[in-house]
Amino acid sequence: MTDETIFSKIIRQEIPTPLLYQDELVSAFRDIAPRVSTHILIVPNKHIPTTNDVTDADELTMGRMFTVARKLAKQEGVDESGYRLIVNCNKDGGQEVYHIHMHLLGGQRLGEMLAL
């Protein structure tokens, strides 16, 4: 496991990023550099660096990330218009922060899925 990232500090509210959601398993907050009008990160409270580090014991947490995505998409008013959920893994996947996170992106028609 790599060291904790800034996301752990946000989850513990050691830095004052507003939380859109938090429960015992996951937290959600707005991306600091939003690519579209709705750009939210949904993260496990536990530090899991990448999807390669997910274990069977994390299944409830991974599922919770999806149910929170559904709730936040509705709250943001993008549930019917549509949105995209992205989880990047390691270098080729474009991962920058090594604490698993699900991007919730919406608010406009998104382009092609892959920019190569």
Quick check: is 101 catalytic?
yes
Residues 56-85 binding ligand AMP (CB under 6 A) are none
> Residue from 8, 45, 75, 95 that binds ligand AMP (CB under 6 A)?
95
Under the binding rule (CB under 6 A), the answer on residue 32 touching ligand AMP is: yes
- Tokens encoding 13: 């509210």
> Residue from 1, 33, 60, 116 that binds ligand AMP (CB under 6 A)?
33
Q: What is the smallest separation between the CB atom of 88 and ligand AMP, expressed in angstroms?
A: 4
DSSP state of 57: G
Q: What is the smallest separation between the CB atom of 6 and ligand AMP, expressed in angstroms?
A: 5
**DSSP H or E stretch at residue 90:** helix 90-93
**DSSP H or E stretch at residue 102:** strand 102-106
- Residue of 39, 47, 99, 101 with catalytic role: 101
Q: What is the distance between the alpha carbons of residues 19 and 100, in angstroms, rounded to a whole number? A: 17
Residue labelled with tokens 């218009």: 81
